[in-house]
Structure 1
Amino acid sequence: MSYRRALLTRWSLRDRLAVLVVAVTAAFLVGAVLVLLAVSGQATAMAADHGADAAVVLTSDVPDGAPPGAAVFPLTTARVAGDAHTVVGVPRPNPLGLDLPDGVAGSPVGTTVELAGPDATVARASADRTADAPFPDSWLVTDAATVRELGAERALVVRDAESAVPDPGAPLVGALSFFLAGTAGVLETLGVVCAGVAVLVGVVVFSVTRMTVRERRSTLVALRATGASARRVRRLVAARAALLTLAGATLGYGIGVIAPNAAATAAVRFGLPVGLPLSLDTRAAALVGAILLALVCVGGLAGALAARPVVGGAPLDESDTGSRGWPGGPRLLPARAVVPTTATLTVFVAFVLVVAALGGVLGSLGATGGGAGGVVTEPGSVHPVDSHIPVAYADELRRSGVAASPEILLFLAHDGRAFPARGVDFDAYRAVSDATLVAGRAPTASDEAVVGDDLARTLGVDPGDSLALGGSTVAAVGTVDIVGAYDARGAADDHLLVSLPLARHLEGVPAGAANVVRFGGARAANGTVAVLGVSAPDRVARGETVTLRVRLRNVGDDAATRTVRAAFDGARETRSVALDAGERRTASFDFAANAAGTHTARVAGATRRVRVVAPGTLTLAPLPARGPPNASLDVAVGTVAGERVEGARVAIGSNANATTADGATRVRLPATPGRYEMRASAGDRRATRTVRVADGAVRGPGVRLHVPERVSVFGAPRAALRVTNPWPAPLERSASITGPGVDRTTTVALDPGAERTVTAAIARRPPGSYDVAARVGNATASTSYRVTGDARLASALAASGRSAGGVGTAGILSRAFGNLGLVLATLLGLGVLMTVGSIVATFADAVQARRRDLGVHRAIGADPRWVVGTVLADAARIALPATVAGLALAWLTLRALSWAGALTAFGVRVAPSVPLWTVAPVALGTFALALVGAGALAVRDARLDPSRLLGGGR
């Protein structure tokens, strides 16, 4: 084998280590390119499919005519019956496709409205507000000419959006623009960090290449001594380094492609909201190929540079032999090792700080937004923006003595910049956060807002300015006057705080609801097991069992026990119910119903009324309220105990019949129209129902609507509509249930004598009485229920300090945030691998540079344990200042970039801190890696014969 082939292809263990180090570095670059291109490509696709249709700009100069491709909606403030209202004028035509109202829409009740504006007073007819108008409910809508006559003070200029992130102006639906602009900021921030990481590539490759050259030093010196030219030696060394780098780059390519896809698969398996395409398309393949080619070229160049001392005849390590570099520095290892170690740690710490800060930004956009305590979301919702919960949560918490703030999350964009906003009651918001006013005053009207100090700098606004806002996830328009600025910690300082009514308009949240309720850090004293609801039968037969049920949930983070007491008709039972953290359970209590009458049942502090009747009490199946003359009607007679009654006499008017063994019979309605009483009798037992006979009456079904009489403010009741067909012919009717937050319609087809139950979930509502109605064809039924507060659950939530609902997503924004979380986690993992490789390579190079010195110490009798201990001590002396310097340099660099506004994501200025959870792992990890990397090689070399160390053999 020629010396050229041997030099190029014979690789030692240290060469393989070099390949592995290059591989983890290449894996980071490849993985970063793939995930960043995937997010960028997804954002581009979303922009093409869901870009903003129109943008709105607020101007104080009301133009006489509309700019090309735009429409001017003049605004003014007018008084109606002494009350001030914002009045908007609709031009014709306009990009929103709105029809001109015939008068003034949204006005107080009345046929004529008198508007007193700055310049004139006019009277107009009252008109109905169109459902698709994007303006707040408090605004009055009329034609543009009327507003100009009143005296237009400012105007909204609406134009077709030319891009997915309009500039200038605010998109009418801002959530997607918010994500696109925010993602661009995240990619720019990560790009800055990855560029810094790329600088390390040259350092790492040079270190490992120099290590392999040093290992072949004797061979290279022999080649030079036997006549090999300096150019030939440099070419051989460069080729060898390029081959090593190529092998590492190839392995790194595989790791960089597999790792992100594995992370995405794992995230999906664990139910996380991700959907990021990580395929290697043509664009990604070209960029990855260019990066790997550049990496190989850097490796070859590093090999040529590392060979220069050998070619020039100078020893590789004489420049700092024996130098400590600083007082208390290393005694054996070269002090120069602190430079690459510091560089590696600076980039890694900067990367960790940016990832942590970006993670905090994403968390603040969808969760608490800063401050101690916890957050309540709708149970079953997977992301707070999907959650709709009653503001009564906050009322109950406040009654428990816990500060609470109902909030609505908004994702907006303005002039091409993304920024987060919240609908809040500012006083309640301050009670659960550290926000303090630093300029202006607190908002008092629905169109007033306060801005965080950092966001004011980002958007370039101050108290006294006005902004036009588009909707978040619905098409809407609103304006705010900024009346104050506040200061808060973290991302909370980058929010615009608007009123709850305006936020409901911009987000499409129902009245009386919010996305989340944040509460303070106070703790209640009654445990974390909360009562979700109590149920009891309305009526039972005497001698049967009355079953009382209580639904419990442990909202705490630890197992807990609650004592539940129940009582009925003088009997009592007490039970301790143990629940694990987050567990739900229903506890049942059975009591004998021995005495007829109405009794009070008590369970877990709630009361219910239960009527106990004789077992044979007759009941009638649901019957229609109307029927045509002489029509035949099937009637079923039973008892409250569920038994069919045979031989019962059923009569209406002069027509009568007896029930058969199945408890049913058929009777004919009277021939004369009128109101009749249907009577069922069996011995001394009676049951009656009123039926109206009318000419032309349509045969309709029997209907019975049931809703629980009382429910907790934290419960969602269900309406049950029982539909029966008592006629001898089939029926097919449309059935509907309407109530709070529900409007369900379905088709019911019933054969003669058949029945069906239709159910519908009713939305949560604040305490109060609510009506539910049902209609099946012409048959109707209605009932009401009462929502009651539940202070125990509020106290339990406060005691737990955690949320009542899940956090995740079902929509575009939620998946987008999930994808960004995957990006951050993947890059962080690859960054850790790269840092491990860099640290190991640095200390492996440092130990090898002192291999001859180790041989000298061993030759004069030094104990191997002394050698290992000295190397480990030097590794610690190098790692300590490198860690401190790396932390300081990373913090100073990122602080400077953040102050300059270069690190901004989703409108939030990324202000990296150095928290303990970051410092401690980095410091410990550095020491561990330094000791392991240096110690492993020191142990290996200490076991070798000193002659091999002095001779440079492998």
Structure 2
Amino acid sequence: MSYQRALLTRWSGRDRLAIVVVAVTAAFLVGAVVVLLAIAGQTTAIASEFGTETAVELTEMPADGVDGTVLPLSTVEVDGEQYTLIGIPDGGAHGIATPDGVSGPLSGSSALIEGEQATLKRSVDAQAAETPFPDEWLISDAQTARELGPTRGLVLRESSSPTPDSGAPLVGALAFFLIGTRQILGLLTVVCGGAAVLIGVIIFSVTRMTVRERRETLTVLRATGATPRRVLLLMAARAGLLTLVGVTLGYSIGVIIPNAAVNIAVTLGLPVGLPMGIDTQTALIIVGMLGGLVCVGVVAGVLAAIPVVRGAPLDSPSTFSVRWPGSPSFLPSSAVVPTTATLAVFIAFVLVTVSLGGVVGAVGGTADQSGGTIVAPNAVHPVASQVDKTYADALQRSGTAASPEILLFQVHDGHAFPARGVEFDAYQSVTDAELVAGREPNATDEAVIGTSLANTLELGIGDEIALGGSTTEGIVTVEIVGTFSGEGANDDHLLVSIPVAQHLSTTSHGNVNIIRLASARSKTVSDGIIPLDINTPQRVVRGETATVRIQVRNVGATEASEQVRVQFGSQRRTKQVSLAADEQQILAVQFNASSVGEQTVQVANTTRTVTVVSPDALRLKQVPRTGPPNASLQVRVRSMAGQSVPNATVTVGSNSVGTNQNGNGRIRLPSASGDYDLRVEADNRTVTRQISVRSNTTRTPAVSLATPNETGVFTTPRGRVTISNPWASNISSQVSIDGPGATLSEQVRLRPGESRRLSATFERRPPGTYTVRVTVDNRTVERQYRVTGDDRIASAIASSGRISAGSGTSGLLSRAFGNIGLVLATLLGLGVVMTAGSTIAAFSDSVQARRRDVGIHRALGANPIQVGKMVGADALRIAIPAGIGGVTLAILVLVCLSWVGALTVFGVQLAPSFPVGTLGLITVGGVVLALFSALVVTIRFAVVDPSRLFGGSR
């Protein structure tokens, strides 16, 4: 075997150890690529259906020469109310038809619109179809908007990709995650740079030791005519071959370990949903990365071989030497350089890994907070979670800080950033967000921005920005009115109002994605099924069946089965019910109304009152409040049991009439105007109604309004109106129902004796008293109902398993990405092994350079323990300044990388925090790691025969 071949292929145990360490380093990098690209791929897959190639941008007017369709915006007033009016050009834009007049939240047939430059009258048209604009905006033609005086406009343009360089996509979730994927790749570049430093240290150290041990071989090569260039090529080839074998082995390990972690987690019952396969993109990145590492190994081998080419004495002390108080006396002080570099990479990696978990938490919705998060059970990912916002209201009333939030994924001018729909006061109560400039938002189109994001987007107070939809097509404009600061990912958020967030997402009205709590609730209420509301009849006839309807809900995270106990007066019933997680059901429980009077209905802590009346009591139907003189009015007399009452006497003023067999009687109203009692008598039973006779009154229908007397904050109340025509001729009336969050108006035409029923559903509201009004031909009927707050329900929901404590990898994050903490912990373990291998290589070089001195000490009687103490003391003198220097260097590198934007993932800067306690713990860990590496190397040299330490081969 030639000298050259022996130099290339004859490897010692130390060389094989170097291959293992290189393999671990390569495995770490391959694993990091697989995991990080899996995270990026999973999020992109989730958002794949939420993309568009149409972008919107806000521009100043006039917008001459702008590429795209310009939609002018004007700020106008109609009847003293301020609106934003947008103009659609002739022929429409993006599928939005040009209206003939103006459409939007206006009433009447026409509107007088006051702008900055003109006042115009336009017809009010119904909106033909859904548009991406907020419901509060007015939509007209572009010419009208220009005449009113636009100061800004929206530009719609087609983009060649889902990630436009300017403006915002109309649906931004896909663009957000595509840009996030690119940022993940940038982070991988940084990680590769750190690994390259470690591999450089390993290969340089191993090659230097090889040069020392192969001194005779290299001397022979030089003596037999080998040129310096040939020697350098041989050493470069040897270093490259070692590195190539290591990275090839590392590739296999790096692919196997993350998948093995996933399989172990699945076996243990932990959720891990990340796809760990190798696709074309991942394979190309890995090949390029590992090829770069081989090049680093070649360069390190060349640098280590330069001294022999120059003829430098290899066993002489290093030409590089530094001294400091307490510096090593035995080992070369130059060992502090590779040790510092190695520990700096390790410390930086630990800090970045921890920060990466926080960023994924921010993308997942929980961000960094010590409390809990209420989410919808079984939601596939946070954006799919739909949580009733009233839970937050109830928790806030009970003294628990709670923030309802909607998650948004936004892109602006090529920059991805997370946004949230929040109530700013509530958001501050559960985070460390602090307003540092401007003011809090107090309108739906106002927003506040994190200081880090403001710097990224170059936005400030007073700036206006156009936002596209997140998971649905939408366009809004918001004005920045304040900036806030917060730790971690909070500083990279834009905070908008909840109505704006609902418009930009698929979150339905009244719901949010998550509710964050300042602290996790204690389990004071049992998990499972709870009653939300009770519906009972206001009045029931004695002897008949009273039906009590209970709305129940399973607030737990799993299926539950319970007995619901209901009490009606002294009667009790039990109803068995089984519900899936988050399922609701209406239970009907029947009782016999046997006693006249007020009866109390109770379910858990909720009560209602039912009036039980005698079946023989009289009641009147279809009696209006007013009527014209001499009008013929039909009166229907019934018992409470619903039976017709014949031969009853109906009296109004001096006019009287008897009822027929059907209980109906037609009586003429008095000719003189005034207020009269309409009195009905039958078998010592009487009932009276008051009616006003006025000469200027038209025939109006009888109106009956029914609403619940009491309802809970989690129940949607309804109002029912019955309209009847008691007159002898046809009537037509305009009927309007107005209640909390709902308005209904309808023209009703009724024949004599005909009845019609209308109903309206009102919004859920916080506790208080609310009024429902029914207006019929300028006459109003009112009823009030009371909303009660049941904080027990919110407490049950918050303590039932719907809440995930903390943030990062728990709860809803696991459903979207799997148990990321387990996978990141596996990578962290590889990083520890990788760092240990690098420090072992560095100390091996230092101890091997002093092997003759070790041999002398052993020959003079020093035992291995004494040698170990001597080397260990020097290793500690090297490790302590190396640990401190590594921390300092890691902080400086991370700050610089963060400053240039290289540590940005999913629009959030990885700005690692540097608490003294954490840094101290990491420094101590690094020092222990270095000391352990030095002792491992020392044992190898201290236990062999001293004579072998004086030779050139080992």
TM-score, normalized by length of structure 1?
Answer: 0.70
Equivalent residue, structure 2, for 1:837: 837
Partner of 2:654: none
Answer yes or no: is 1:887 the counterpart of 2:887.
Answer: yes
Equivalent positions of 1:31-180 (< 5 A) are: 31=31, 51-63=51-63, 67=66, 70-180=68-178
In structure 2, what is the equivalent of residue 337 of structure 1? 335
1:940 shift after superposition: 3.2
Alignment of 1:345-494 (within 5 A): 345-494=343-492
- Give the whole-Å Cα distance in 1 for the aligned partners of 2:826 and 2:128: 49
Which residue identity is paired with 1:864? Answer: P
Kindly provide the amino acid, as one letter, of the partner of residue 278 in structure 2: S
Deviation of the 1:412 alpha carbon = 0.9
d(CA) in 1 for partners of 2:314, 2:610: 95
Q: How does 1:629-640 map to 2 (within 5 A)?
A: none
* 8 Å contact kept, 1:273–1:814: yes
Residue 500 of structure 1: how far off its partner (Å)? 1.5
Aligned mates of 1:807, 1:938 — CA distance in 2: 44
**How far did residue 392 of structure 1 move?**
0.9
Distance (Å, rounded) in 1 between the aligned partners of 2:104 and 2:154: 19
Q: Secondary structure at the match of 1:113?
A: strand
Q: Contact (CA 8 Å) 2:450, 2:485: kept in 1 or not?
A: yes
What residue in structure 1 maps to residue 278 of structure 2?
A: 279
Structure 1 residues 295 and 902 mapped into 2: Cα distance closer, same or farther (>3 Å)? closer
Larger mean Cα displacement after TM superposition, 397-406 or 378-387: 378-387
**Contact between 2:358 and 2:368, CA under 8 Å: does it hold in 1?**
no
Cα 1:133–1:321 change in 2 (3 A) is: closer
- Contact 2:367/2:808, CA 8 A, preserved across alignment: no
| Alpha carbons of structure 1 residues 290 and 75: separation in structure 2 relative to 1, 3 Å | closer
Query: Paired residue for 2:18?
Result: 18
What letter is aligned with 2:936?
A: A
Shift of 1:126: 2.2
Q: Distance in 1 between matches of 2:525 and 2:917?
A: 29
Gap change, CA 1:8 and 1:600, over 3 Å in 2 = same
Over aligned residue pairs, what C-alpha RMSD do you find?
A: 5.1
Identify the residue that residue 773 of structure 2 maps to in structure 1: none
1:533 aligns with 2:537: no
Tell whether the 8 Å contact from 2:440 to 2:481 is kept in structure 1 after alignment.
yes
Aligned partner of residue 379 in structure 1, secondary structure: coil
SS in 2 for 1:124: strand
Secondary structure, aligned partner of 1:492:
helix
Cα distance in 2 for partners of 1:388, 1:538 equals: 25
Q: Give the Cα–Cα distance (whole angstroms) in 2 for the partners of residues 536 and 37 of structure 1.
A: 48
Partner of 2:576: none
479-488 or 292-301: which moved more? 292-301
Deviations 1:214-264 (A, max 9, x none): 3444x5377469867575766655554444333223212322333455456
2:903 is the alignment partner of 1:906 = no
- Could you tell me how far apart the structure 2 residues matched to 1:430 and 1:230 are? 71
In 2 relative to 1, CA 26–144 (structure 1 residues): closer, same or farther, beyond 3 Å? same
- Whole-Å Cα distance in 1 between the matches of residues 887 and 872 of structure 2? 22
Change (3 A) 1:293 1:387: closer
Deviation string, structure 1 residues 901-921 (Cα, Å, up to 9, x no partner)? 443333333322224685356
Task: Call closer, same or farther: CA 1:527–1:222 in 2, change over 3 Å.
Answer: same
Structure 2 CA distance for partners of 1:84 and 1:13, relative to 1, 3 Å: same
1:927 maps to what in 2? 927
Alignment-derived partner of residue 323 in structure 2? 325
Cα shift at 1:475: 0.3
Per-residue deviation, 1:603: 6.8
Contact in 1 for aligned 2:371/2:806 (Cα 8 Å): no
Q: Match for residue 680 of structure 1?
A: none
* In structure 1, C-alpha distance between the alignment counterparts of 2:225 and 2:531, rounded to whole Å: 94
Residues 373 and 520, structure 1, Cα contact 8 Å, conserved in 2: yes
Alignment match of 2:247 (pick from 224, 246, 249): 249
Q: 1:146 to 1:305 in 2, by over 3 A?
A: closer
* Letter paired with 1:856: I
2:39, 2:274 within 8 Å by CA — same for their partners in 1? no
Give per-residue Cα distances to partners, 1:510-565, cap 9 Å, x unaligned. 222222222334977x83646750499999x9xxxx9x99999899xxxxxxxx99
Q: Would you say the 8 A contact 1:264–1:276 is kept in 2?
A: no
Q: Secondary structure at the match of 1:927?
A: helix
Question: What is aligned with 1:220?
Answer: 217
- Where do 5+ consecutive residues of structure 1 fail to align? 556-563, 574-582, 587-592, 612-673, 676-707, 718-761, 771-784
Residue 450 of structure 1, CA deviation: 1.7
Q: Which residue identity is paired with 2:186?
A: E
Given that residues 467 and 479 in structure 1 are in contact (C-alpha distance below 8 angstroms), is that contact kept between their aligned partners in structure 2?
yes
- Do 1:550 and 1:604's aligned partners in 2 also have CA atoms closer than 8 Å? no
Question: Which structure 2 segments of 5+ residues have no match?
Answer: 537-542, 558-563, 574-580, 585-590, 612-661, 664-707, 718-760, 771-784
Q: Residues of 2 paired with 1:537 and 1:445: CA distance?
A: 36
Q: 1:75 is paired with a residue of what secondary structure?
A: strand
Say whether the 8 Å CA contact 1:418–1:907 is kept in structure 2: yes
Distance 1:340 1:714, change over 3 A: farther
Q: Shift in Å at residue 343 of structure 1?
A: 0.9
1:939 matched to 2:939? The reply is yes
Are the counterparts in 2 of residues 73 and 91 from structure 1 also a CA contact under 8 Å?
Answer: yes
- Measure how far apart 1:151 and its partner are: 2.4
- Residue of structure 2 in register with 1:948 after alignment: 948
* CA spacing shift, 1:368–1:120, aligned 2, 3 Å: same
TM-score, scaled relative to structure 2 = 0.70
> 1:386 touches 1:515 (CA, 8 Å); kept in 2?
yes
Q: Deviation digits for residues 655-709 of structure 1, max 9, x if unmatched? A: xxxxxxxxxxxxxxxxxxx99xxxxxxxxxxxxxxxxxxxxxxxxxxxxxxxx99
Cα deviation per residue 1:4-37 (whole Å; 9 max; x = unaligned)? 5555444332221111122223334444566677
Distance 2:222 2:499 in 1: 87
SS at match of 1:381: coil
| 1:369-426 deviation digits (Å, cap 9, x = unpaired) | 4555332222222433212212211211111112222221111111111122221222
For the 8 Å contact 1:379–1:804, the answer to whether it is kept is no
Partner of 2:803, secondary structure, is coil
The question of whether the paired residues in 2 share the 8 Å contact of 1:531 and 1:604 is answered with no
Residue 318 of structure 1 and its aligned partner are, at CA, apart by: 2.1
The Cα shift of 1:924 comes to 4.3
Describe the shift of the 1:829–1:143 C-alpha distance in structure 2 as closer, same or farther (beyond 3 A): farther
What are the Cα deviations for residues 142-171 of structure 1, in whole angstroms up to 9, with x where unaligned?
A: 222222232223211111123221122111
**Structure 2 counterpart of 1:923, one-letter code:** T
Code of the aligned partner of 1:90: I
> How big is the shift at 1:488?
2.4
Residues 599 and 379 from structure 1, CA distance in 2 versus in 1: closer, same or farther, beyond 3 angstroms? farther
SS of alignment partner, residue 887 of structure 1: helix
Query: What is residue 852 of structure 1 aligned with on the other side?
Result: 852
Q: Tell me the CA shift for residue 204 of structure 1.
A: 1.9
Among all aligned residue pairs of Structure 1 and Structure 2, give the percentage whose two residues are the same amino acid: 54
The CA deviation at 1:207 is 1.1
Query: More deviation in 487-496 or 414-423?
Result: 487-496
Superposed, 1:515-554 pairs within 5 Å as 515-521=513-519, 527=524, 529=526, 532-534=529-531
Corresponding residue for residue 208 of structure 1: 206
Question: 1:313: how far off?
Answer: 5.8
Shift of 1:877: 2.2
- The corresponding residue for 2:495 is 497
Q: Which amino acid aligns with 2:859?
A: A
Counterparts in 2 of 1:273 and 1:787: CA distance versus 1, 3 Å: farther
Per-residue displacement from partner, 1:564-584 (whole Å, max 9, x unpaired)?
A: 9999988999xxxxxxxxx99
Describe the SS at the equivalent of 2:837: helix
Contact 1:464 1:482 in 2 (8 A): yes
Q: Cα distance 1:905–1:447, how it changes in 2: closer, same or farther (>3 A)? A: same
Match of 1:865 in 2: 865
Checking the alignment, whether the CA contact within 8 Å between 2:41 and 2:181 is kept in structure 1 is no
Distance in 2 between residues matched to 1:5 and 1:147, nearest whole Å = 84
**Paired residue secondary structure (1:76):** strand
How many residues are matched? Answer: 774
